Chains A and B, each alone.
Chain A
Amino acid sequence: MTKERKMNIREDMSWRDMPQGGHIIDAGNAEDFKTGDWRSMRPVWLQDKCKQCLLCWPVCPDMAIPVEEGKRKDFDFDHCKGCGICVEVCPFKAIDFVEEE
């Protein structure tokens, strides 16, 4: 899913090949960095219980609840850190919280 980037910084690169001043010229490229392996707990979206109220969406610190055309999809597990805030705010118990395997 890595998008095409303007800079491709690697640890074996010379200083000559990096933009000056430590500037990062690819805005938003942090999404290439996966934080999903931080999880010790995993939210499980119970689609049949979900009423699409979207209360879970804005409280996610990791932008890991994608919404398309007004409806939430399953978690972005590349970035979800398993904090469980969404689990607690769900009024319909539509998100389970289980140990990560």
Chain B
Amino acid sequence: MAYNLKTLTEKEERFTGGHRMCAGCGAPIVVRTVLRALKPEDHAVIGVATGCLEVSTCLYPYTAWKDSFIHSAFENAAATVSGAEAAYRALSKVGKVKGTTKFIAFGGDGGTYDIGFQALSGAMERGHDMVYVCYDNEAYMNTGIQRSSSTPKYADTTTSPAGSELPGKVQFKKDLTMIMAAHNIPYVAQTAPFRNLKDLYEKAEKAIYTPGPAFLNVLAPCPRGWRYDTPKLMEIVRLAIETCVWPLYEVIEGKFILNYKPKNKLPVVEYLKPQGRFRHLFTKENEGLIDEIQKEVDRRWNRLLELCGEA
């Protein structure tokens, strides 16, 4: 079915207002779009890693989730959901549960790239029929903007602060989507809330309804941590995509497919400039650092083009 916003509004919202995520947070946009991809007749079990999303959407005695929800700890959303999925298989076998239940785990980059990486890798390798969605806001936002392995190079965070000796985080961002692709699971995609959210919605739908494990890495800007004005969210995402900092692609049964190729690839500086976390890169002392970032972005982009047969 062609992507059509009007038709989609007819589906019931499975995630409610009244959650306590910050104004302008990218994560709830990701969550509601992913859940919208569920068929209305299907039930979902959703597991969330400790983090902004969990503490803000399930704050006793309120829950913003209309499906079944479980949070247990920080590093184990994938393992927890894999257990629920195993239960579903066992109980379906003996006819104790009926109908279709889908299993979705959400984690931030902290709960996914870092502390939850082992559980994620394990659950994907074991082949559970589940989707793991990383809402990647590129730092540990829940505890107050500490660097993660997903934080981009030279970003200023509270544990990789820009100072007179160090210009922010000194390492490049871990390429988790590629690492998940190397798990050779049925479906891996990198996406973001872009334009009318078609890319994110369609990938969520494929991820949920492809049998076996699937992984979605979704860029989810954090206005506080990235330091831009909240209304700019979609513009920031657009710049991440048009500069090729965050390419949209998917890996289906090992085949790389590029989903969006900018007609006019923008220089990375366009993406860095509106964000306070990169402000220090525009001083005289830090000249040359943006070139370094550009070089790495180009290198990764060119490699992706090769993998996608677009070079």
A residues contacting B by CB (< 8 A) are 7, 9, 22, 24, 26-35, 38-39, 53-55, 57-64, 67, 70, 76, 78-79, 81-85, 87-89, 97
Minimum CB–CB distance for A80 against chain B, Å: 8
- In the complex, A21 Cα to B230 Cα: how many Å? 37
- In the complex, A5 Cα to B130 Cα: how many Å? 31
Minimum CB–CB distance for B205 against chain A, Å: 14
Which residues of the partner chain B approach A22 to less than 8 Å between Cβ atoms?
A: 60
Main SS of chain A's interface residues? loop
Minimum CB–CB distance for B208 against chain A, Å: 17
Docked-complex contact B231 and A88, CB < 8 angstroms: yes
- In the complex, A34 Cα to B65 Cα: how many Å? 16
Number of interface residues of B (CB under 8 A): 47
Which residues of the partner chain B approach A78 to less than 8 Å between Cβ atoms?
A: 17-18
Which residues of the partner chain A approach B24 to less than 8 Å between Cβ atoms?
A: 61, 81, 83-85
Flag whether B63 is at the interface (Cβ < 8 A).
yes
Docked-complex contact B231 and A85, CB < 8 angstroms: yes
Docked-complex contact B5 and A85, CB < 8 angstroms: no
Flag whether B262 is at the interface (Cβ < 8 A).
no
Which residues of the partner chain B approach A79 to less than 8 Å between Cβ atoms?
A: 17-18
Which residues of the partner chain A approach B291 to less than 8 Å between Cβ atoms?
A: none
Docked-complex contact A54 and B230, CB < 8 angstroms: no
Minimum CB–CB distance for B104 against chain A, Å: 15
Which residues of the partner chain A approach B57 to less than 8 Å between Cβ atoms?
A: 30
Nearest neighbor of B27 in chain A, beta-carbon distance: A61
